[in-house]
């Protein structure tokens, strides 16, 4: 009986706090953001646009986009971040960009919980903002607030083990929150939209990514469409209940419940400030191991990679889940520490070229994958050093060398500066959209004239036509 009473109390508190979160967000959208928060929202935006552009080049993404082009309505109201900058109806554009945004594992993420707040909000947000004629500053405000709402649900309903992937669990919520804020819904309508979207999350197994099923990259695409439609239905009076998120996450997904996380510190602490960025094109739980491996490669001196008899990787629980030795797809390779280590050792990088079909077939990389052994990292330190790695190379002659990375770069403890993120944007986009990096540098700087511009006009400049890149 006590346990039932405790659950009832948690459910009631979560419902009340969900209402309060929606009330806060719908009031905050009318107020200016703190400058530091707006600037962080701008860096998240540019980083995830870069991820969409580079993802758009993948053949499966291009074929999916072609399918959307055939079925899109006649209203060309939102841009797809792909070569030629095609314009579809807002729902099809959001779905196309949602398919691309996580494909290359180069999108931004939230460090305090497994949640990619940008990937779940930006595809719907940008499509709706362009269709609605919102300004650049309004886009950044909606992004910061939708990101806050989405990550608050991830914090309030943590998964005790890696069973449901966050892309499946939270993408619909992020899209509904973003759409609601761009449309300037009142608190009740936004509550209906977000709770309705929560009821339509997916039971997407985490191991789908580890095993390399490409449908995992479709969850942010479908999530964008569902979240936008949940917003439409909320306008018609069709929505969820304040208790729906609790019932979905605790009742169906068997998460824990921390209701206070929905509202604690609203407006004083911002989730966008706790985001992280990637320069390695693989799962974030492998990044410390990559940095340790790169350190070792720099110290090899006369030794050769071919002389490595074993690569021992000691890592935390998240890294321990990434055990696949023979990844079947490029996605599986990005979630395989054996492949990440072998490809990094062979190529000297964990960038995009370490995760191609050719690397899966490379016999030298394959042999080295089979020499990788994973072990627990003992005495795991607290956040933000809770994703450490110790990599030890054992050589055929009995020698060995080790390196430790307690926390990979890119998080709040070791952030990349804006110049590095702009360089990453240029690397990912300049061959297709050469004006895009400079355009978004001005957005990051917060130039008043740029912030006041309509979003669609800014895009027209950033994605203007150019001569195709020649390949020599």
CATH number of the domain residue 197 falls in: 1.10.4100.10
Q: What pLDDT shows up at residue 3?
A: 66
**CA-based max dimension of the chain:** 73
Cα separation, 180 vs 448, whole angstroms: 25
138 and 235 belong to one structural domain: yes
Structural domain includes residue 455 = no
- Among 246, 276, 306, residue at a domain's last position: 276
CA separation, residue 115 to residues 109, 110, 192, 236, 396 (Å): 6, 5, 22, 30, 41
CATH number of the domain residue 322 falls in: 3.30.1330.120
- Contact yes or no for 463/79 (Cβ under 8 A): yes
Q: What is the pLDDT of residues 75-116, one digit of tens each?
A: 999 999 999 999 999 999 999 999 999 999 999 999 999 999
Structural domain includes residue 429 = no
Q: What pLDDT shows up at residue 74?
A: 81
Residue 322 DSSP label:
-
- Among 364, 383, 405, residue at a domain's last position: 405
321 and 245 belong to one structural domain: no
7 and 131 belong to one structural domain: yes
- Among 236, 253, 276, residue at a domain's last position: 276
Q: What pLDDT shows up at residue 470?
A: 38
Burial of 356 (0-12, 13-18, 19+ CB in 10 A): middle
Question: Is the pLDDT at 1 greater than 60, yes or no?
Answer: no
Structural domain includes residue 251 = yes
Which token pair is 342?
Answer: 């072998």
Structural domain includes residue 432 = no
Question: For the chain, what percent of residues have pLDDT higher than 70?
Answer: 97
266 and 325 belong to one structural domain: no
Question: Is the pLDDT at 4 greater than 90, yes or no?
Answer: no
Q: What is the pLDDT of residues 326-380, one digit of tens each?
A: 999 999 999 999 999 999 999 999 998 899 989 999 999 999 999 999 999 998 9
Q: Once rounded to an integer, what is the mean pLDDT over residues 222-244?
A: 98
Q: Once rounded to an integer, what is the mean pLDDT over residues 28-37?
A: 96
Give the domain extent around 263. 2-276
Question: Is the pLDDT at 467 greater than 90, yes or no?
Answer: no
Cα separation, 137 vs 143, whole angstroms: 10
Structural domain includes residue 468 = no
Q: How confident is the model at residue 58 (pLDDT cuts 50, 70, 90)?
A: very high
Q: What pLDDT shows up at residue 238?
A: 98
Cα separation, 325 vs 243, whole angstroms: 42
263 and 293 belong to one structural domain: no
Q: What is the pLDDT of residues 164-194, one digit of tens each?
A: 999 999 999 999 999 999 999 999 999 999 9
Q: What pLDDT shows up at residue 73?
A: 86
Q: What pLDDT shows up at residue 162?
A: 85
Q: What pLDDT shows up at residue 363?
A: 96
Q: Give the distance, in angstroms, between the CA of residue 403 and the centroid of all CA atoms in the same chain.
A: 28
384 and 400 belong to one structural domain: yes
Q: What pLDDT shows up at residue 465?
A: 58
Q: What is the pLDDT of residues 404-459, one digit of tens each?
A: 999 999 998 999 999 999 999 999 999 999 999 999 999 999 999 999 999 999 99
Average pLDDT, the chain: 94
Cα separation, 100 vs 104, whole angstroms: 8
Handedness of CA 347, 343, 329, 81 (dihedral sign): negative
Question: Is the pLDDT at 7 greater than 80, yes or no?
Answer: no
Q: What pLDDT shows up at residue 17?
A: 98
Question: Is the pLDDT at 469 greater than 60, yes or no?
Answer: no
Q: What pLDDT shows up at residue 466?
A: 54
Give the chain's domain count: 2
50 and 194 belong to one structural domain: yes
DSSP for 385-415, written as a single string: SSS-EEEEEEETTS-EEEEEESS-TTSSSSP
């Amino acid at each position: 009986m006590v346990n039932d009473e405790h659950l009832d109390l948690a459910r009631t508190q979560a419902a009340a706090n969900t209402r309060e979160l929606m009330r806060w967000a719908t009031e905050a959208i009318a107020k200016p953001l703190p400058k530091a928060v707006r600037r962080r929202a701008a860096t998240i935006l540019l980083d995830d646009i870069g991820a969409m552009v580079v993802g758009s080049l993948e053949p499966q993404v291009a074929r999916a986009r072609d399918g959307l082009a055939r079925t899109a309505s006649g209203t060309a109201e939102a841009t797809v971040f792909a070569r030629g900058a095609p314009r579809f109806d807002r729902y099809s554009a959001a779905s196309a960009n949602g398919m691309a945004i996580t494909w290359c594992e180069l999108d931004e993420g939230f460090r305090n919980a497994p949640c990619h707040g940008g990937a779940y909000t930006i595809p719907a947000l940008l499509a709706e903002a362009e269709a609605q004629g919102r300004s650049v500053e309004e886009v950044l405000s909606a992004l910061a607030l939708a990101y806050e709402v989405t990550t608050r649900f991830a914090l309030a309903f943590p998964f005790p083990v890696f069973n449901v992937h966050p892309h499946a669990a939270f993408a619909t919520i992020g899209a509904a929150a973003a759409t609601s804020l761009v449309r300037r819904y009142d608190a009740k309508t936004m509550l209906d939209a977000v709770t309705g979207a929560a009821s339509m999350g997916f039971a997407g197994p985490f191991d789908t990514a580890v095993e390399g099923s490409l449908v995992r990259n479709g969850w942010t695409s479908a999530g964008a469409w569902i979240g936008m439609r949940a917003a439409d239905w909320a306008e018609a009076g069709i929505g969820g209940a304040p208790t729906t998120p609790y019932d979905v996450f605790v009742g169906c997904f068997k998460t824990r419940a921390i209701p206070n996380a929905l509202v604690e510190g609203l407006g004083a602490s911002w989730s966008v400030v706790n985001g992280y960025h990637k320069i390695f094109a693989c799962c974030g739980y492998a990044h410390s191991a990559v940095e340790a491996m790169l350190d070792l490669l720099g110290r090899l001196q006369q030794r050769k990679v071919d002389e490595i008899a074993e690569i021992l990787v000691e890592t935390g629980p998240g890294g321990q889940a990434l055990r696949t030795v023979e990844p079947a797809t490029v996605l599986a390779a990005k979630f395989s520490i054996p492949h990440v280590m072998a490809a990094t050792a062979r190529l000297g990088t964990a960038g995009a070229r370490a995760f191609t079909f050719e690397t899966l077939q490379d016999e030298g990389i394959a042999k080295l994958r089979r020499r990788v052994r994973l072990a627990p990292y003992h005495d795991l330190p607290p956040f933000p050093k809770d994703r450490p790695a110790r990599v030890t190379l054992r050589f055929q002659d009995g020698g060995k060398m080790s390196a430790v990375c307690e926390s990979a770069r890119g998080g709040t403890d070791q952030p990349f500066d804006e110049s590095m993120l702009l360089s990453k944007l240029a690397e990912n986009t300049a061959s297709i959209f050469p004006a895009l990096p400079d355009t978004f540098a001005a957005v990051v700087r917060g130039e008043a004239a740029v912030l006041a511009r309509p979003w669609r006009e800014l895009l027209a400049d950033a994605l203007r036509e150019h001569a195709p890149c020649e390949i020599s």
